Amino acid sequence: MVRHEQLWQAAAVGGKLNAAGTVSVTPLRYDLEERGMLVVESLAPLTLDQHGALSTLAAQVALAVESANLADDLRQRRSEERFRAILENTSDIIVIVNSGGEITNCTPSLARNVGRSEEDLVGRTMAEFLQLDDAAEATALFANSADGTTQAQAITDWRLLRRDGSLMAFEVLINNLIADSRVGGIVLTMRDVSERRALEVQLNHQAFHDRLTGLPNRALFQDRAEHALARTARLGTIVAMLMLDLDDFKIVNDTRGHAAGDELLLEVAARLQSTLRSGATISRFGGDEFAILVEDLRDLPQAESFAKRVMDHFAAPFTVQGEDLTVGVSVGLVLTGGGLDWLDMIEQMRCADLALYAAKERGKNQVVLYHPELNTRMMDRLSRRADLQRAIVANEFVLHYQPIVSIDTGKIVSCEALVRWQHPTRGLVPPLEFVELAEETGLIVELGRWVLDQACSQMRSWAEAGHTGIHVSVNVSARELQETTFLDGVHAALLRHQVRPGQLVLELTESIFATDAPTISKQLRALRNVGIRIAMDDFGTGYSSLSYLQKFPIDILKIDKSFVDGLGEGSLDGSALVNAIISLAQALRLQVVAEGIERSKQLDELWAMGCTLGQGYLYAKPVAAAEMGALLSSSLRLGPSPMTTRHVTARLRRPA
């Protein structure tokens, strides 16, 4: 076996074929340097021609090796250029700092973000380009890196300070490579997360703030209330919670539109924010409900004084769509801490709601301070509501009918259907004790549907008994008219019981006409188009009665009992007002029904004024359907005759 050293010596002199011809050595040369050799050992002796051929082969091998090296070098150079281009154009920032926080190397992206050249950055501390709090954290982290007290890798958020003073949020990966001789520093890989953090802030704000007003929402309010109660427990002070609800806000939405309602809510929020004490938390819970939390109060008078100031802020009108709009507010107030009964956050909110509800019940636009008796009242209300729901399912309601009589003849011309609750333990319950509750809970819709069906059924029964000309008046609530299926329900009831539309009168109170004028007018015209008549009940008790007569299709005016009560007592003012209503109705070709007639003198005066129809206890109290049928069958006159000489003379003097 030929030794290695001998082979290199043979290659150095240009190659050699040994004497035996069994070993051929040929050098591999390129760049005028020997880079290797081609050695061939053969069992049979090689000729000089074969050795020469191997020399040619060696030259080709050398060329191939050179080409491969050149290609590898080219790839490496291209890779380095590509990497350099990536580093120069990447939006991420890579910075190497020493344990003192000084920048030793960085990508051009750092220079672009801080508005300086790369040369100007090397040697400066990284803390110079961070927001103050982040700079302190970074300085401490770098100092602890040298002694190994900082973990090898960490992720944090830093805010980078631009030259114009603006801040950018970066997520930073910190890799401690001080011990690595190839790096010898701390590598910071920074990625811009400004948009992500801004979105997180926005989503967080939306999660805890009302979208319309920007005020804290219920979730944030509850959190602040929890902290306030904890602080109150330590300091012994009083914390007050106020629940606010705008009075009749629905009318604003219905008559002016939801855009006006939103504008009003914005005006209310702005006024509360600008006028209340800075320590108060003002929140919007939704709709027209607001809440206020006030801390560090001394006593009850101070809390009541604050609540009064809240009310005073609503005395001045709000400007909505260029017009002044005065809005009242009802407030529920509850206190805790400072020696008062201790309430947790949930209890305090519940008690404030109870006080607010009591303020609404007492006539609105006032403050009610919570007291324990409100709990009892609310439990009673809940019990009555459950009882009312059960009664509807159990069909415990009945209709009574009160005659409407011709004052001249005493003959019954129509009647009003009045619902009664046949309670299993309380007996016959009048509508004053349950209709308002039914309206507030929405049960009035189902109850009203039942009343209409029963009234139509009864009209059919009377018609079959020969009383074909009788008309029946049915009271309708605003809540029923808001139902999109109301008109279809009326048509279906008439068709189901084969009742002519002209036999049905729908009675509406003045307050209904104020809720949503365009919608109400459209519904009433649709009803009149099929022959159903419309009566305005309690006429004269509202503020816009005359305008309603112009805007809405009305057939009958029912003079409220409060006006009739003053007749027959010699009151000229009371008589003049009723006389004016009757004259107005006659001029507009409307029927007039005087309600609540209880004395003959009232009847006489109404007859003298030209009122043709009356209703009241002087004629008959509301009676069951069977008794009403008996009255219809009887030929007896109801009520006394109004024909006295004095009133006949007065009536004859009336202009034609």
Examine the domain organization and report whether 493 and 349 are in the same domain.
no
Q: What is the pLDDT of residue 536?
A: 87
Examine the domain organization and report whether 475 and 615 are in the same domain.
yes
**pLDDT > 50? residue 6:** yes
Examine the domain organization and report whether 298 and 426 are in the same domain.
no
Examine the domain organization and report whether 250 and 122 are in the same domain.
no
Q: Which amino acid is at 67?
A: S
Q: Is residue 203 part of a domain?
A: no
Q: What is the pLDDT of residue 77?
A: 61
Instruction: Judge whether 174 and 144 are in contact, CB under 8 Å.
Output: no
Q: Is residue 377 part of a domain?
A: no
d(CA 147, CA 597): 102
Examine the domain organization and report whether 360 and 439 are in the same domain.
no
**198, 225, 240 - which closes a domain:** 198
**pLDDT > 70? residue 62:** yes
d(CA 353, CA 13): 109
Positive or negative torsion for Cα 35, 38, 39, 45: negative
Per-residue pLDDT band for 399 (boundaries 50, 70, 90) equals very high
Q: Is residue 507 part of a domain?
A: yes
Examine the domain organization and report whether 363 and 464 are in the same domain.
no
Q: Is residue 647 part of a domain?
A: yes
Examine the domain organization and report whether 81 and 182 are in the same domain.
no
Please give the average per-residue pLDDT across 567-575, as a whole number.
76
Examine the domain organization and report whether 148 and 180 are in the same domain.
yes
**pLDDT > 70? residue 643:** no
Q: What is the pLDDT of residue 654?
A: 46
How many structural domains comprise the chain? 4
**179, 198, 217 - which closes a domain:** 198
Expressed as residue numbers, the domain containing 190 is: 90-198
Q: What is the pLDDT of residue 33?
A: 67
Q: What is the pLDDT of residue 78?
A: 57
HSE, side-chain direction, 13 A CA sphere, residue 5: 0
Least confident of 70-79, 104-113, 437-446: 70-79
- Give the H or E element holding residue 187: strand 185-192
Examine the domain organization and report whether 424 and 511 are in the same domain.
yes
Examine the domain organization and report whether 450 and 495 are in the same domain.
yes
pLDDT tens digits, residue range 310-351?
888 888 888 888 888 888 899 999 998 887 888 888 888 988
Pick the more confident residue, 524 or 410: 410
Please give the average per-residue pLDDT across 120-141, as a whole number.
84
Residue 358's CB: how many other CB atoms inside 10 A? 20
Q: What is the pLDDT of residue 397?
A: 94
d(CA 114, CA 164): 9
**pLDDT > 80? residue 140:** yes
Burial class (CB in 10 A: 0-12, 13-18, 19+), 214: middle
**pLDDT > 80? residue 379:** no
Q: Which residues contact 224 (CB under 8 A, 6 or more apart)?
A: 216, 281, 293
Q: Can you say how many angstroms the Cα of residue 542 is from the centroid of all Cα atoms in its chain?
A: 33
- Give the H or E element holding residue 522: helix 517-529
Q: What is the pLDDT of residue 532?
A: 93
pLDDT tens digits, residue range 491-514?
999 999 999 999 999 998 866 766
**pLDDT > 90? residue 406:** yes
Q: What is the pLDDT of residue 133?
A: 84
d(CA 170, CA 192): 5
Please give the average per-residue pLDDT across 395-401, as a whole number.
94
Examine the domain organization and report whether 123 and 23 are in the same domain.
no
The CA R_g of the chain, rounded to the nearest whole Å, is 48
Per-residue pLDDT band for 159 (boundaries 50, 70, 90) equals confident
- pTM comes to 0.54
Q: Which CATH number characterizes residue 249's domain? A: 3.30.70.270
**pLDDT > 50? residue 124:** yes
Q: Is residue 378 part of a domain?
A: no
Per-residue pLDDT band for 475 (boundaries 50, 70, 90) equals very high
Three-state SS sequence of 226-268: HHHHHHHHHHCCEEEEEEEEECCHHHHHHHHCHHHHHHHHHHH
What percent of the chain is predicted at pLDDT more than 70? 88
Q: What is the pLDDT of residue 593?
A: 94
Per-residue pLDDT band for 650 (boundaries 50, 70, 90) equals very low
Per-residue pLDDT band for 646 (boundaries 50, 70, 90) equals very low
318: β partners: 325
Pick the more confident residue, 224 or 649: 224
**pLDDT > 90? residue 361:** no
395: DSSP letter: T
**pLDDT > 90? residue 473:** yes
Instruction: Judge whether 509 and 499 are in contact, CB under 8 Å.
Output: no
Q: Is residue 241 part of a domain?
A: yes
pLDDT tens digits, residue range 11-55?
777 788 887 888 888 888 765 566 788 888 888 888 888 888 888
Q: Which two tokens stand for residue 425?
A: 């333990």
209: DSSP letter: B
Instruction: Judge whether 283 and 216 are in contact, CB under 8 Å.
Output: yes
Examine the domain organization and report whether 564 and 519 are in the same domain.
yes
Secondary structure (3-state) at 261: helix
Round the average pLDDT of the chain to a whole number and report it.
83
Least confident of 318-322, 530-534, 620-624: 318-322
**34, 53, 86 - which closes a domain:** 86
Closest listed residue to residue 345, CA positions, set 227, 237, 216, 235: 227
Q: Which CATH number characterizes residue 149's domain? A: 3.30.450.20
Q: Is residue 36 part of a domain?
A: yes
Instruction: Give whole-number Cα distances, 565 to 53, 161, 416, 648, in Å.
Output: 141, 82, 20, 22
pLDDT tens digits, residue range 181-210?
777 888 888 888 877 877 777 777 777 788
Q: Is residue 314 part of a domain?
A: yes
